[in-house]
Amino acid sequence: MFGGLRAVNDVSFCITEGTIHSLIGPNGAGKTTLFNLVTGLYVPTSGEILLDGRNVAGTAPEQLARLGISRSFQNLQVCMRMTVMDNVMVGSHLTLGDSILQGMFRFGGARRKDEAAEQQAHRLMRFVGIDDFAEVMASDAPFGILKRLEIARAMATNPRLLLLDEPAAGLNQTEKVALEKLIREIAKSGITVVVVEHDMKMVMSLSDHIVVLVDGAKVADGDAGEVRSNPDVIAAYLGVPIAKATADA
């Protein structure tokens, strides 16, 4: 709740492990707010967020990352003065576990862990298709590469649940097709994926399950066929009052 506004109100759904879920709705529906609640950036005023039956609502983002929840952002969150590879390696910091002194002087297991982080970064860059840009400064990399960079960095935390906030925004059609293939490969690797996306063609093709939000409330969920034919969803996207669309149906 922001002041008197309930940005997300009584939304409930389940995410099946190893599948691809999409969260859709008009602008201002509460999609990114819901991501921020799940990833600990916002603290809910009520309700629960269950991970393996444990309520993690209000848990700090870094603790949620250790529990296996990672994300990308709607607006790029990239260190432009670092190389692409260094940006990916930032995601490994939770798994390094070294003190500042160990990191500075590279003693103890710090050197070995740094080398392992570099190897993981190279593997993830190959996986998402940006290994040719490893030594390029992020400020000089094309926008589509930076979008994939964010995905690689999020995967560097070894997540079980990966939330992607508008990953196709700003991409051309060729890049969108490649992104859809990448998301499928991520799911095949065993990572559960939840996507916020406005490209309905991609959503309908990609998703095992879709949840629709309107004005902070869930109005529908199901597979692509169920959501596509739901009168409340049609109303939300065509601008018809939901009550009228339901009555006409």
Q: Say which CATH number the domain at 207 has.
A: 3.40.50.300
Is residue 25 domain-shared with residue 128, that is, in the same domain? no
Domain carrying residue 113: 78-149
Please count the structural domains in the chain: 2
Is residue 13 domain-shared with residue 136, that is, in the same domain? no
Is residue 114 domain-shared with residue 11, that is, in the same domain? no
Long-range contacts of 71-75 (CB under 8 A, 24+ apart): 71/35, 71/39, 71/154, 71/162, 71/163, 71/164, 71/165, 72/147, 72/150, 72/151, 72/154, 72/163, 72/164, 72/165, 72/167, 73/150, 73/165, 74/32, 74/165, 74/166, 74/169, 74/196
Is residue 40 domain-shared with residue 145, that is, in the same domain? no
Q: Is residue 104 part of a domain?
A: yes
Per-residue pLDDT of the chain (249 residues; tens, 9 = 90+): 333 345 578 888 999 999 999 999 988 888 999 999 999 999 988 889 999 889 999 999 999 999 999 999 888 889 999 999 999 998 887 666 554 445 545 555 666 777 888 899 999 999 999 999 999 999 999 999 999 999 999 999 999 999 999 999 999 999 999 999 999 999 999 999 999 999 999 999 999 999 999 888 999 999 999 998 898 888 877 655 544 444 444
Q: Is residue 178 part of a domain?
A: yes
Is residue 90 domain-shared with residue 136, that is, in the same domain? yes
Is residue 53 domain-shared with residue 166, that is, in the same domain? yes
Is residue 135 domain-shared with residue 167, that is, in the same domain? no
Q: Is residue 4 part of a domain?
A: yes
